Amino acid sequence: MRIIDYTLADAFPLDTNNRRVLKAKLMLWELTEERYVRMFHKNRRKAKDVCKALGALLIQQDLKCSNEDVVENIKENLYLQHSIGMDKWNNEAPFDPSLIAWFQNGYHRVC
């Protein structure tokens, strides 16, 4: 399977009024990522991509679907890819469904 290497804007101009685009604008991803990475740095552990994982949890809550279905939906939908911080269209799964389970189960806590 070939991965297409276009930015989302090249492949498909996103509607700025789309609900996913509007929700993504509300998220303070840079600040969240910065603080999250710092928590892991203290314990010398590698941080997961909080934008993708937290974004996937928000999508899952909105769509009321399984971890596997979240990944499939993201794989198939440019707007969902945009909403988890992806800037390039990718027709493969952005992560394994176990990443969502990892966040759901609280393993991300490093205290």
Average pLDDT, the chain: 79
The whole-angstrom separation of Cα 13 and Cα 83 is 14
| Helices and strands: H and E segment counts in the chain | 7, 0
Over residues 54-106, the pLDDT tens digits come to 889 889 999 999 999 999 999 999 899 988 888 877 788 888 998 888 777 76
Place 26 in a pLDDT band, splitting at 50, 70 and 90.
Answer: confident
The whole-angstrom separation of Cα 89 and Cα 99 is 20
- pTM for the model stands at 0.70
46: burial class by Cβ within 10 Å (0-12, 13-18, 19+)?
A: exposed
CB 60 within 8 A of CB 100: yes
Place 111 in a pLDDT band, splitting at 50, 70 and 90.
Answer: very low
Phi, psi of 76, deg, nearest 5: -95, -5
pLDDT over 70 for what percent of the chain?
74
